[in-house]
Each structure stands twice: as structure tokens, then as C-alpha cells.
Structure 1
């Protein structure tokens, strides 16, 4: 039941993100920034099959960005910590991260994320939020990561899964 609810929530979130990007011309979204890179999470205590509050240390390095405006953002990254109610099957977390760009500027993002385990042992995290300070203030943010769980059997141990890593991206848009 929990898995079904989370799957429905992820689909709803992705549909909502798609609607924002493909809104009618009167409210068309203007892309301010799009980056790809890699991310990693560590979990304390380790994530198991049972939902529990876990401390999540998260980082991302965006090494390939395309942006509008000047100066041009070409890369950036962040490291942050948050708590979330998660299990190996899914969960949710609210985060605030400050991304430092190659230009020396920063962007602070407040976002809510859904976590879901995919069949190939990917921990897919989709965050949706808003830029609350710095460059791009007021813009909408969608951050995604497909973090590979290389030790899926750990879900059924007392230690649990203590880390995941994989590709990550961020898109920052603003209604025109």
C-alpha cells in the first residue's frame, strides 16, 4: 500500500513538473539553468525495509551547466544534511541546499523530495522547490538523482544501506 501511494505521488510530482514546463504560451516557463552531474547520499542509521527517520548527508557536483544571463554558470555543487522518513521502498525529505556556482554566486533552494526504489536498485529522488535566496531568486527548481544502491541485500540487515551514488541534474525555470 505504501509503495503504491509513493508511486502515485512520484507520478503526480512528475506530471506537475511537466505541466510547469509545458504550460500555455501566456505562462511559458523560461529555462534559466540546466545542469547534469553526479550525486551521493550517506544515511545514518542505514536505510532498511522498515520506514524510519534517517539523517541524510547529500552532495552533488554539477559539472556541465547551460545558463542564461551573465556571468554564465557552467558548474556548481553543494553539500547538505537533512532528516527524512525513508525506507528501501521509498519516503520523503525536505531540504534546504545552497549551491555554489563557478561564478562565485550562490543559490539557496528549499525543496521537498520523494524517494522511490526502482527495479534496477536505483534510488530515484525527485525534489521540487523554489530558489529562496541568491541568483535565480523566486525561480522554480526541479532536482533529480538516480542513485544506485549497490548493496540491495543490506535493506534486510540491521545495518541497512548506508550510501548511494549516481547521476544527478537540476533545472531552474521561471514563468515568463
Structure 2
């Protein structure tokens, strides 16, 4: 029986995700000490979970337009201003110019929270390949409708490419999955 070795990539993905969260925390902490931030309260929602993408056609070493079926389940959320929101998720279809080495994607996603509320986010993402075959996607955008309208959003995913050799085939890589996070910040 062949077992998959996932400790390295998953650990690296978790370290990346933790690093993003620490950087955001430091940035938000700095913003909270400015006079403008002292005049208003800062609401913060942070969630961790998992994400998965499928690609049609598959992603290869050469950039090409790819249709991406993307989903995320945020199974653990904490909030400074919305304690009833404890989980959420989305599923979308987007198009982007990507390769196994990088690319970019613009998305509009509607996240449905456990409370039944929704949050629509418009964001631009940068896709980069990291060591250990992680496809790291960082989206930055704004909430355009629903709960948290006007808030800033950072979404990250460290999706593991379990078949990196597929990058050099005509079929390409057809799917990735791994840890996903979202942070929403808003001055109230």
C-alpha cells in the first residue's frame, strides 16, 4: 500500500497561513493606534478552513485561460463584532490566466454564513507556486454587498498540487486542495 507524504506540504501551508495571519494582526494593530482608528471601532472577522479548486483545461507550465471551480469551507470563525458568525463557505466558477508557475484571477464570491447572512466580495488574486508544490493564492478586495459592506477582505489559500509532474503534460493539473483563510476588517 502506498501512502502519501503530506506532512511537509501541509506544514508549509499552515506556516504560510499562520504568517499571513500574523502579518495582518501586526498591520491591524498598527492601524488601531493611529488617531483616525481611535475615533472608530475596528470590527474583525477571521476564519480558517479548507479550499479546493478544479481546473478546465488543466493548468500547465504555459499560461492559458482556465475555468476554475473553486470552493471554500470556513469551519472556524471568530469575530470581534459578530460573535454569532462561526462558519461559512462559498462555491464559484471563475476564469483566469494561469500556469503552474503563477497567474492572476478576478473573482466575485458570495459567502453564506451559518447565520444565513451573506457577504459578497469582489477581489483580485495573485497565484504563485511555492516550494513543496503549494499553489498559493492571495486575494485582496472589498465587500460590495451584504454583511460587512465596505469592509476590506484578504483571502488566502495554500492549495497542494499532488501531481506536479502533470504540469508538463497536455492534460495539466486538474485539481488542488488545502488550507484556506479569510480576514474581513471594517471600521464601524
TM-score (norm 1): 0.86
2:34 is the alignment partner of 1:25: yes
Deviation at 1:174, TM superposition (A): 1.5
Deviation at 1:31, TM superposition (A): 3.9
Deviation at 1:32, TM superposition (A): 2.4
Deviation at 1:20, TM superposition (A): 5.6
- CA shift in 2, pair 1:128/1:159, >3 Å: same
Count of residues paired in the alignment: 161
2:96 is the alignment partner of 1:84: yes
List alignment gaps of at least 5 residues for structure 1. Answer: 1-13
Conserved 8 A contact 1:36-1:170: yes
TM-score (norm 2): 0.80
Counterpart among 171, 177, 182 of residue 165 in structure 1: 177
Quick one: distance in 1 between partners of 2:71 and 2:89?
A: 7
- CA shift in 2, pair 1:45/1:27, >3 Å: farther
Conserved 8 A contact 1:27-1:175: no
Quick one: distance in 1 between partners of 2:149 and 2:72?
A: 20
Quick one: distance in 2 between partners of 1:106 and 1:26?
A: 32
Task: Note the alpha carbon deviations across 1:53-94, whole angstroms, 9 max, x for none.
Answer: 000110000000001335610000000011000000000000
Say what the alpha-carbon RMSD is for the aligned residues: 1.8
Task: Note the alpha carbon deviations across 1:89-116, whole angstroms, 9 max, x for none.
Answer: 0000000000000000000000000000
Bigger helix share: 2
In the alignment, which residue of structure 1 is the partner of 2:10? none
Quick one: distance in 1 between partners of 2:50 and 2:63?
A: 26
Counterpart among 111, 130, 136 of residue 99 in structure 1: 111
- CA shift in 2, pair 1:27/1:86, >3 Å: farther
Runs of 4+ in 1 over 4 A off after TM superposition: 17-20
2:144 is the alignment partner of 1:135: no
Q: After the TM superposition, which of the residue ranges 134-143 and 68-77 deviates more from structure 2?
A: 68-77
In the alignment, which residue of structure 2 is the partner of 1:67? 79
Deviation at 1:26, TM superposition (A): 2.6
